[in-house]
Amino acid sequence: MPELLDHLVLTPAEVADVLRVSKKSVYRLCEAGAIPGALRLGRLWRVPRWGLEQLLAERERPPAAQRRRAAQVLEQPPPAAELESRERLVVRVVYPRTKPRQPVPR
Mean pLDDT rounded to a whole number for the chain: 76
Give domain 2-61's CATH number out of 1.10.150, 3.90.105, 1.10.260, 3.30.1220: 3.90.105
**Residue 42 clears pLDDT 80, i.e. is over it:** yes
What are the extents of the domains in the chain? 2-61
Q: Where are the alpha helices (DSSP H) in the chain?
A: 12-19, 23-32, 49-60, 64-75
How large is the average pLDDT for residues 25-37?
91
Contact 46, 38 (CB under 8 A): yes
Full-model pTM: 0.54
Return the ∠ at Cα 105 (arms to 101 and 106), rounded to 5°: 135
Q: Which residues of 68-83 are buried (b: 16+ CB within 10 A; e: fewer)?
A: eeeeeeeeeeeeeeee
